[in-house]
Structure 1
């Protein structure tokens, strides 16, 4: 295990006695393969805001895009702390994941090209973007791109029930 690979810690109090901690390779595969995540952010007046969106797991972080005038972009200008969740709507199968972190704007042209290519690779030609000046340009207009490097990831396995926490060191 490298210094960059987090080790899962099983929360025994919330897990079946037969459960084992989720391994990071499995969690990372689930983060990569999930098609929909729910982004939770905070409005300037403190009320929560939750919305579904498409994400990409690239270089150890989740990436998503949004229009500059959308509620989530306006929230992130005031408070970049977010939670992204994905999983199944099943009680007894699958694994749900919760990613806590800070959303940071991505404006570098090379990084935006990587994100644009990844959207097409994962979601198909309907998600084609051109790289603009610090944004991705698509049918819906310019989109800001955000990167969320995880601070903490929780995995909630359901067969058997197991709650695993992965912690990440602060970014340099």
Structure 2
């Protein structure tokens, strides 16, 4: 279970002790349809794109064949956030290749049910029914930020 505290926002620590429970963020991470990921190109420029993902075993799992895949081979740092700008959840962490991970089959099962798009584990990632291949990344969170509408109850969870 992550440790919660008030984050620093607008240059100072947020006053008050009314924090969101971790379950609030976890529920939104689990239920979201689209997630935006941000990686860094080797020359330092940012790269951002939407992906489909699942929240499993306190990590965000996704597959992409985009420039993000190349970026993550040189810099594993990643930020992922939900589309919702009112009930915000932002995950900052490290993306690691998930091929061979014991939970990869469970990730594929959950992804297939969530998106009605069956995927299957391979030695290097996943494949779909069209034989399209892709790597799978597992984002291990270091810190997660969240807040409700009008920045209500801003909370920082450290893993």
Relative to the length of structure 1, the TM-score reads 0.81
Aligned residue number for residue 43 of structure 2 = 45
- Aligned-partner Cα distance in 2 for 1:40–1:152: 15
Among 111, 115, 118, the residue aligned to 1:119: 111
Q: SS of the counterpart of 2:157?
A: strand
Q: Alpha-carbon deviations, 1:30-55, whole Å to 9, x = none?
A: 11111111100000110000000111
CA distance in 2 between counterparts of 1:87 and 1:25 reads 19
1:28 aligns with 2:30: no
Match of 1:84 in 2: 80
RMSD: 2.1
What is the number of residues matched between the two proteins? 155
Structure-2 separation of matches of 1:6 and 1:99: 12
**How far apart, in 2, do the equivalents of 1:160 and 1:109 lie?**
37
Q: Does the 8 Å contact 2:99/2:122 carry over to 1?
A: no
Residue 153 of structure 2 corresponds to which residue in structure 1?
162
TM-score scaled by length of structure 2: 0.87
Which residue matches 1:105?
A: 97
Conservation of the 8 A alpha-carbon contact between 1:15 and 1:161 = no
Partner of 2:123: 133
Q: Deviations over 1:120-171 (max 9, x none)?
A: 12111xx111222222112361110000111000002125623110001xxx
Q: Secondary structure at the match of 1:8?
A: strand
Unaligned runs of 5+ in 2: none
Which structure shows the bigger proportion of residues in strand conformation?
2
Q: Does the CA-based 8 Å contact 1:109-1:131 persist in structure 2?
A: no
Instruction: Please give the alpha-carbon distance, in whole angstroms, between the structure 2 residues aligned to 1:131 and 1:10.
Output: 39
Give 5+ residue unaligned stretches, structure 1.
none
